[in-house]
Amino acid sequence: MIPLDRFFAAARMEEPDEVPVSLLTSARFFSHLYGVKVFKFFHDPRTMLHATLHTMKRFPDIVLFPGLWADYGLVVEPSAMGSRVYWPQNYAPYVKGVLFKNPEDIEELEPPDPKTDGLMPFVLESIQYIQKHAPKSAKYLYAVARGPFQVASYTRGPTEFLIDLKLRPEIATKLIDICTQTAISWLRAQLAVMDDPVGIFVPDDNASFLSPELFRRFGVPVYKRIFSEFDGLLKVYHNDADSTHT
């Protein structure tokens, strides 16, 4: 079996011929090994593609997940909702300031349009560029959307969002719903321009800030809702934080 087949076998709860090795990779990793600044990686799809292919060739026995990826960091969804984005020269971009400072800012909020809002249309163009210029042996496999709790924390602020969950649950529910709709529409928009998708990838580190009670109340329904929209595709969830309590 080749490394990718081992990965898929393990994901299907089958037994591969040997234990697969897979590493979650991102722009900073690719940029460092390719010898370019992170800013250059983010702003040039050609560099993005070549840096990724360079790293794949260097580690042929490892599945670099998610592989070919129009990776613009953690700011894509917040940018589409109106957040300011700061672009350091040699680090990942980040959201600057809190977008929704008051609960009232959320009441009339609507989901963004992936075709027109924030960085989303640029990501879609980058996906198409990467697919067009990648060798046939390298496929663009996954649509990627940041999870609702990560996006809610970035736009409302992590502390205020957690306070909302306890003291203003109607506001938290509204924001989570918008972020969930955003994730679903954003995944669909990416899948629509992908040639041979196999799965979706939803990273959401901030979900670990929720207590078991809050996760059962808010988290479980959200992830069921997202993943149920994409039958037939591999669903990959990622959380960097300690999630054992949920």
pLDDT (mean) for 215-237: 97
CATH classification number, 70-238, choose in 3.90.650.10, 3.40.50.2300, 3.20.20.210, 3.40.50.1820: 3.20.20.210
pLDDT (mean) for 139-152: 98
- Domain residues of the chain, as ranges? 70-238
d(CA 112, CA 107): 15
d(CA 49, CA 51): 6
What H or E segment, with its residue span, contains residue 163? helix 158-167
pLDDT band for position 85 (cuts 50, 70, 90): very high
Residue 64 pairs with which residues in a beta bridge? 23
Which one-letter amino acid corresponds to residue 52?
A: T
Per residue in 4-41, pLDDT (tens digit) is: 999 999 999 999 999 999 999 999 999 999 999 999 99
